[in-house]
Every structure is written in structure tokens, then in C-alpha cells.
């Protein structure tokens, strides 16, 4: 893959963040007149241009970098097929990352549930034995309230288990719609 320099553009190629617009040209050929003209125009506009000649290069580029614009040479059918392949690789990697995050959240929620139940039950027993005028009553009530709030949060994390088992991730649904 050919990586372009990150020129300091005078306005045109910079989005609001001040960085040059990142462009990935996929399926183009630097020897082709149209691709050469496009490359020159983007460079003149101050864009940072990367060129991917193959689906593997495009997939690698899309996994590693964030692009503001993707330019695809539609006159080359293999470019469209290659882009679909590259997008599938990127979506699969993102699904794997999300699956690991969901698994971590589920495991953490499971690990927190039992000690939290014990804390909440003991604090409630203690509060029930106390009189409201007891100086420690307010502190024990705060412990009960906060433990209850944390228990509700743990329940929400545990719901991720059902959500992940019952439905596809948004990325999986998007990928299957594209096919």
C-alpha cells in the first residue's frame, strides 16, 4: 500500500479538527490517467492520501486507520468485490472485539453479584435492627441504597448475556444486509 504524506493544507483538506482529510483510494492504479488526476487533485487540496491496490491492503488500512473518505474505482469489478471482502474482514474483527467486551462485562457482573448480595443483605439486616434516631442509621441506609443501586447496574450487565444470545450484533446485521 502506498501511504501519502500528511501535508499541511491551507484550509481545503482539513476537517474541523485541523487534521488533513484522510482518503483511502482503493482499486485505483497510479499509472491510470483518471487515478493520477484524482491523486493530484486530492494532494492539491491538502488531503492525506493512501492507495490500496489489493483487498488485503484495503482491509489492513481500514483496520488500522480512520479515513474520512473512501474512493473506489467502480470501473474495475474486482475493486468492488475486494472492498466487500475487506469490509467483511473489518466487520469480523470489530465483532470479535465487541464479543470480548460483552464477555468481560458478563464475567465481571457475575463476579460482583454474590458479594454484593451479601453486602446488601447484611446492611439491610443491620438497618432493620436499628432505630432511625441511631447516629449510624443514616450511614447504614446510604450503604443499603448504594448497594441496591449497584445491584441494579449488575443486573443490566447480566442482561447483555440474553441480548448477545438472542440477537445478532448491529455489525453482523449490517454485514448480512450488504451481501
Residue 17 belongs to some domain of the structure:
yes
Count the Cβ atoms, other than its own, within 10 Å of residue 23. Answer: 22
Model confidence, pTM: 0.43
Residue 61: domain span: 2-75
Q: Please say if the pLDDT value at position 83 is more than 90.
A: no
Residues 69, 98, single domain; the answer is no
* Residues 113 and 165 occupy one common structural domain: yes
Separation of alpha carbons 134 and 137, rounded Å: 5
Residue 174 lies in a domain: yes
Q: How many CA atoms lie within 13 A of 124 on its CB side?
A: 10
| Residue 127 to residue 145: CA distance in whole angstroms | 11
9 — pLDDT class (breaks 50, 70, 90): very low
50 forms beta bridges with: 3, 24
Q: Is the pLDDT of residue 136 over 70?
A: yes
pLDDT for the residue numbered 123: 94
Same structural domain for residues 106 and 172? yes
Which H or E run contains 60?
helix 55-64
In the chain, the number of structural domains is 2
Residues 142 and 145: their CA atoms lie apart, in Å, by 5
Q: What per-residue confidence (pLDDT) applies to 91? A: 73
Task: Give the 3-state secondary structure of residue 51.
Answer: strand
Say whether both 139 and 173 belong to one domain: yes
- Which band of pLDDT confidence, cut at 50, 70 and 90, is reported for residue 7? very low
Residue-level pLDDT at 116 = 92
Confidence bin at 120 (pLDDT 50/70/90):
very high
Q: Are residues 64 and 10 in the same domain?
A: yes
Q: Best-predicted range by mean pLDDT among 3-7, 45-49, 75-79?
A: 45-49
Residue 61: pLDDT over 70: yes
Q: What cell was used for 60?
A: 489492513
Amino acid at each position: 500500500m502506498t501511504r501519502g504524506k500528511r501535508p499541511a493544507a491551507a484550509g481545503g483538506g482539513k476537517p474541523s479538527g485541523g487534521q488533513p482529510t484522510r482518503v483511502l483510494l482503493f482499486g485505483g492504479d497510479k499509472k491510470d490517467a483518471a487515478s493520477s488526476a484524482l491523486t493530484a487533485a486530492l494532494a492539491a487540496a491538502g488531503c492525506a492520501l493512501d492507495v490500496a491496490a489489493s483487498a488485503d491492503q484495503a482491509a489492513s488500512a481500514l483496520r488500522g486507520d480512520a479515513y474520512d473518505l473512501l474512493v473506489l474505482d467502480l470501473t474495475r469489478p474486482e475493486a468492488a468485490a475486494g472492498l466487500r471482502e475487506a469490509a467483511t474482514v473489518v466487520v469480523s474483527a470489530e465483532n470479535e472485539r465487541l464479543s470480548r467486551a460483552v464477555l468481560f462485562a458478563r464475567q465481571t457482573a457475575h463476579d460482583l453479584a454474590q458479594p454484593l448480595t451479601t453486602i446488601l443483605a447484611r446492611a439491610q439486616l443491620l438497618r432493620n435492627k436499628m432505630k432511625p434516631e441511631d447516629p449510624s442509621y443514616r450511614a447504614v441506609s446510604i450503604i443499603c441504597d448504594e448497594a441496591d443501586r449497584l445491584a441494579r447496574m449488575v443486573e443490566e450487565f447480566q442482561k447483555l448475556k440474553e441480548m448477545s444470545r438472542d440477537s445478532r450484533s448491529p455489525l453482523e446485521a449490517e454485514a448480512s444486509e450488504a451481501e
